[in-house]
Amino acid sequence: MKKIFSQLTLAIVCALLGFMLTYQFQLLRKEKSTNVINPNDSTYNQLTVELEQLKKTKEELEKSNSRLMEQIKVYEESIASPGDSSKEIKNQLDKTRLLLGETDVEGKGITLTITPKEGLFDAEGVFRYSPISHFELAYILNELKYADAEAISVNDIRITNQTGIRLSDGGKRILIDNDQVYPYSLITIKAIGNPDKLESAIMFPNTLNLEGLIGYNIEVVKSDSIKIPRTNKVFKSDYIKPVEK
C-alpha cells in the first residue's frame, strides 16, 4: 500500500515537472518568434521614419539656434544705442512673433473635440466608418481660419502659416509637419478668436457633413481662456525674397 502511494506521488511529481518544462519551452519559443524584428513590420518602419525626421529636425533646430544667437547679439548692440526706434522695433517684433505662432498665447475661443464613436470597430477589428483624414482636418482648420481664428492648435500642435497636413502610413497617422495625430483617438482642436463666430462657423448646418466625420462625435465648447502653446516649427525663408523696387 505504502509503495503504491509513493509511486503514485512520484508519478504526479514527475508529471508536474514535465508540464513545467514543456510549458516553459513553449513560452520561450513564442517569445522568440514575437521578438524578432521584422523589417517589414509597420512599427519598425514607423520608428525609422520618425528617427529620420527627428534627426532632420535636430539639425534644423541647431542651425536656427545659432542663427538666433547671432540675431540676439545684433539686437543687444542696437539696444545699447539709445533711441525710441529700437523700442518700436521690439514691439513690432513681438507682434510678428505672436502672429507667427512663436509665443504661447491665451484668449477667448473654442475647443473642438473629435471623439471616435463607441462601437467603431466591428467584430473583426475593422473600422466601420471611414476614418478622419487630412482632408477633414484641413477642412475644419480652414473653416476656423475663415471665421477669423487668430491662433489654432491641433492636439496642442500649433498651426502656423507654414504648417502642412497630410496623411501617412496608409491612413494610420495624420502628419502635422513632424508631429502626428492618430485618427482613432481623440483629436482636440483649439482656436482663439470670437467664440460665437467660431462656433457658428463649425456648427452651421452641413458644415461637418463629411464622409470622414460620420464615425465621430464632434463637440464645441466655448471658453474665455484658451491656451495655445507656441510652435516648435523652424520657419523657412530660403527662397522668398522681398521684391526690390
Partner 1 sequence: MIAILGLLIGVIAGILWDVNIPEKFSPYISVAILACLDSVFGAIRANLSNNFQADIFISGFFGNAALAAGLAYLGDKLGIPIYIAAVIVFGGRIFNNFAIIRRLLIEKAKSR
> Which listed residue (1, 22, 84, 116) binds partner 1 by CB under 8 A?
22
Q: Does 29 sit near partner 1 (CB under 8 A)?
A: no
Select from 3-11, 184-192, 228-236, 237-245 the region that touches partner 1 (CB under 8 A).
3-11
- For the record, the C-alpha cell of 147 comes out as 471665421
Q: Does 19 sit near partner 1 (CB under 8 A)?
A: yes
Work out the burial of residue 57: count CB atoms within 10 Å of its CB; fewer than 13 is exposed, 13-18 middle, 19 or more buried.
Answer: middle
In 3D space, the residue among 145, 201, 136 whose CA is nearest the CA of residue 165 turns out to be: 136
* The dihedral formed by the CA atoms of 226, 209, 168 and 59, expressed in degrees to the nearest 10: -30
Q: Does 17 sit near partner 1 (CB under 8 A)?
A: yes
Among residues 17 and 79, whose Cβ is nearest to partner 1? 17
Among residues 16 and 74, whose Cβ is nearest to partner 1? 16
Helix axes 84-100, 42-80, angle to 10 degrees: 170
Binding pattern for the stretch 43-82 against partner 1, x by CB under 8 A and - elsewhere: ----------------------------------------
Binding pattern for the stretch 103-142 against partner 1, x by CB under 8 A and - elsewhere: ----------------------------------------
In 3D space, the residue among 214, 189, 192, 218 whose CA is nearest the CA of residue 203 turns out to be: 218
Dist CA 185 CA 179 (whole Å):
15
Q: Does 7 sit near partner 1 (CB under 8 A)?
A: yes
Among residues 18 and 164, whose Cβ is nearest to partner 1? 18
Q: Does 20 sit near partner 1 (CB under 8 A)?
A: yes
Sign for the pseudo-dihedral over CA of 198, 200, 206, 212: positive
Residues that bind partner 1 (CB under 8 A): 5-28, 31
